[in-house]
């Protein structure tokens, strides 16, 4: 008798759970606005109601955002006066576990060479413009030819951080990486034909994430045969007499399937991630201060098994890049293989030493926390999609490639066929806005006329010597327009008297490198370098914004009543 009662109770519980589950599913798929069904087989509004949370894209680890003091350094013997402590809040984001390696960058070069053969005159600047400058290894009084010829391509250096890459080249790599990762994901989910990513017969037929979102049928140069509609038909189950879907549905942003863009981290994000303050958090306060990405005030390990080992790859002193043979201080004399040292508390490797790293920000001596203390970033240039006369987005063709001229006359492609052409936002777009008024915001509150000591209302200042930052100009070039590919004919030189190297074209780089003393290992230290130049000690890593919740689901606690 008791066993029958127990069995009935179990059945009742199972049925109750099933009903609750069914009610929850029905609730998710019913509009609270209209009461209509969502994701109905008969059509109507389609939306991903089963979305959980963003997962880490290839190569990235999660960095939970928070509040910290940016720019607080332990030592400032240089007296740069550019590290004023400011309290900032950073949203959660993802960051590359390691610096971008030679092997990762070679994959990018291989793709460019395959899709845009440099042997073709109108494409040669695409590939050559992406090549790292291997001559950065040369020294007038040093023999470094082995690195010049081997560092980028030899498998011995495959997992070493790529160097000789300018800020501009790093940005272009990030854009390429976004498209390749989303292309592979769409293929995996069945929205693209198998191996569509290897379709490189037509240079205009490349995949671009923004183009797929704005106008899916224009990707791959309009070759719709590479767009697989099987999943659409399975989901809709609403076909015409020929068995074709009545409504084409492509996964846009509302699908949750496409990753946000890979990009360079902002200075605030990079410094926050490097500090790894989560390791010294005690309830709602930080337990003490941190000088390096690891705990403690010293560069050597205090653990018994690793006592005395250096915790990063940096220059110990004059003529000491690696220590005495037989027992090396840090295991490297130039760069080191990634993951050679322990990660910080966010799981990030080499946030001190090895190579310094580009960040997204335009350099200014002062961080303007009085205007903004949330996701601080200087460098916004707002653009919008170019629109054709018929109202469709304008996709870049092989004849629409735009090149950026570097200070040495080298050309770098700013866009590639298959991308959506971008134009600056206009005064009509910003009319009556209070949060921004024009496209280029790089010198907002610092370097524009209104912040100059020469500024007077209703007076225009055309004298370049009276600019806030009277820096050199590098656009003194003459090109030939006789061919499809611009050819440099003459280099000019800026002969004006200048007062500073700071401009809207110099970017911040962070962290110490194999060439730097321990002073620069402090994540708060900051330096700048022209965005179109490269060195043998600056590399980069990518970041990606997190959409949705601040914390991962497994770390969440109930904050709402049921």
In the chain, where are the structural domains located? Answer: 56-191+257-379+507-561
What's the pLDDT at 173?
A: 97
Cα–Cα distance measured from residue 430 to residue 436, given in angstroms and rounded to the nearest whole number: 7
DSSP 8-state secondary structure symbol assigned to residue 159 = T
Q: Which residues of 339-353 are buried (b: 16+ CB within 10 A; e: fewer)?
A: ebbebbbbebbbbbb
According to the model, what pLDDT value does residue 244 have?
Answer: 56
Q: What six digits make up the tokens of 254?
A: 């509302």
Question: DSSP letter string over 198-240?
Answer: G--SSTT----HHHHHH-GGGGGGG-GGGB--HHHHHHH--B-
**E strand spans, 411-537:** 411-413, 422-424, 477-480, 487-491, 506-510, 526-530
Q: How confident is the model at residue 562, as a pLDDT?
A: 39
Q: Give the pLDDT score at 186.
A: 92
Q: What does R_g of the chain's alpha carbons equal in angstroms?
A: 27
Residue 559's pLDDT is 46
The pTM (predicted TM-score) of the whole model is 0.88
Neighbouring-strand partners of residue 347: none
Q: 68, 87 in Cβ contact below 8 A?
A: yes
Q: Give the whole-angstrom CA distance, residue 544 versus residue 97.
A: 12
pLDDT for 394 equals 93
84 is written with which tokens? 């004023």
Tell me which of 3.90.1580.10, 3.40.50.300, 3.40.190.10, 3.30.1360.170 is the CATH number of domain 56-191+257-379+507-561. Answer: 3.90.1580.10
Task: Report pLDDT for 265.
Answer: 98
Task: Name the region of 195 (left: φ>0; alpha: ψ -120 to 50; beta: rest).
Answer: left
Please report where in the chains the tokens 């040292």 appear, as a residue.
Answer: 341
Query: What integer pLDDT is reported at residue 27 of this predicted model?
Result: 63
Name the strand (E) or helix (H) holding 360: strand 356-362
Provide the residue-wise pLDDT of the chain in tens; the chain has 562 residues.
Answer: 555 555 454 444 444 444 444 444 556 789 889 999 988 777 778 788 888 899 999 999 999 999 999 998 877 776 767 788 899 999 999 999 999 999 999 999 999 999 999 998 888 899 999 999 999 999 999 999 999 999 999 999 999 999 999 999 999 999 999 999 999 999 998 888 888 887 756 667 789 999 999 998 888 888 888 886 555 445 445 555 565 555 566 888 888 999 999 999 999 999 999 998 876 665 666 666 677 887 777 777 767 666 667 878 888 888 888 888 876 678 899 999 999 999 999 999 999 999 999 999 999 988 888 889 999 999 999 999 999 999 999 999 888 888 888 887 788 888 899 999 999 999 999 999 999 999 999 988 886 666 666 666 555 556 666 667 778 877 677 776 655 566 766 777 777 788 888 889 999 999 999 999 988 999 999 999 999 999 999 999 999 999 999 998 765 554 443 3
The bridge status of strand 93-96 relative to strand 543-545 is: antiparallel
Predicted confidence at residue 558, as pLDDT, reads: 45
Identify the pLDDT of residue 278.
77
């Amino acid at each position: 008798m008791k066993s029958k009662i127990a069995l009935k109770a179990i059945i009742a519980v199972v049925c109750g759970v099933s009903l609750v589950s069914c009610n929850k599913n029905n609730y998710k798929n019913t509009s609270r606005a209209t009461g209509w069904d969502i994701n109905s087989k008969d059509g109507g509004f389609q939306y991903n109601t089963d979305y959980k949370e963003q997962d880490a894209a290839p190569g990235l680890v999660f960095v939970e955002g928070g509040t910290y003091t940016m720019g607080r350094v332990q030592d400032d013997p240089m007296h740069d006066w550019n590290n004023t402590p400011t309290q900032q809040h950073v949203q959660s984001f993802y960051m590359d576990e390691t610096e971008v390696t030679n092997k990762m960058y070679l994959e990018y070069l291989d793709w460019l060479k395959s899709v845009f053969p440099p042997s073709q005159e109108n494409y040669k600047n695409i590939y050559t413009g992406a090549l790292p400058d291997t001559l950065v290894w040369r020294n007038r009084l040093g023999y470094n030819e082995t690195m010049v010829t081997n560092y980028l391509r030899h498998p011995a250096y495959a997992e070493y951080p790529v160097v000789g890459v300018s800020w501009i080249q790093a940005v272009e790599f990030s854009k390429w990486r976004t498209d390749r990762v989303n292309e592979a994901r769409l293929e995996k989910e069945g929205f693209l034909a198998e191996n569509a990513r290897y379709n490189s017969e037509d240079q205009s037929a490349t995949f671009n994430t923004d183009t797929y979102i704005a106008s899916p049928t224009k990707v791959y140069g309009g070759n719709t045969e590479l767009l697989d509609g099987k999943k659409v038909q399975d989901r809709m189950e609403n076909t015409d007499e020929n068995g074709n879907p009545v409504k084409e549905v492509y996964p846009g942003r509302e699908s949750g399937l496409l990753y946000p863009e890979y990009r360079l981290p902002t200075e605030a994000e990079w410094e926050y991630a490097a500090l790894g303050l989560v390791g010294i958090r005690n309830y709602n306060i930080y337990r003490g201060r941190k000088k390096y990405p690891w705990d403690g005030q010293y560069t050597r390990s205090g653990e018994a098994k690793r006592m005395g080992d250096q915790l990063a790859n940096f220059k110990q002193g004059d003529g000491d890049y690696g220590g005495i043979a037989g027992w090396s201080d840090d295991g490297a004399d130039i760069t080191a293989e990634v993951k050679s040292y322990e990660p910080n508390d966010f799981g990030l490797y080499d946030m001190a030493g090895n190579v310094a790293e580009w960040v997204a920000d335009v350099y200014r001596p002062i961080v303007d926390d009085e205007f903004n203390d949330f996701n601080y970033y200087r460098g916004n240039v707002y653009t919008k999609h170019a629109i054709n006369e018929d109202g469709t987005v304008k996709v870049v063709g092989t004849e629409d490639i735009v090149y950026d001229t570097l200070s040495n006359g080298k050309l770098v492609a700013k866009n590639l066929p298959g991308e959506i052409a971008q134009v600056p936002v206009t005064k009509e777009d910003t009319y009556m806005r209070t949060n921004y008024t024009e496209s280029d915001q790089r010198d907002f509150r610092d370097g524009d006329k209104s912040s100059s000591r020469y500024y007077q209302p209703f007076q225009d200042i055309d004298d370049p010597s009276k600019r806030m930052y009277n820096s050199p100009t590098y656009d003194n070039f003459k090109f030939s327009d006789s061919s499809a590919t611009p050819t440099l004919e003459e280099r000019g030189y800026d002969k004006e008297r200048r007062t500073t190297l700071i401009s809207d074209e110099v970017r911040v780089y962070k962290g110490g490198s194999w060439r730097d003393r321990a002073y620069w290992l402090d994540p708060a230290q900051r330096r700048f370098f022209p965005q179109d130049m490269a060195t043998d000690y600056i590399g980069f890593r990518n970041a990606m914004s997190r959409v949705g919740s601040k914390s991962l689901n497994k770390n969440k606690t109930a904050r709402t009543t049921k």
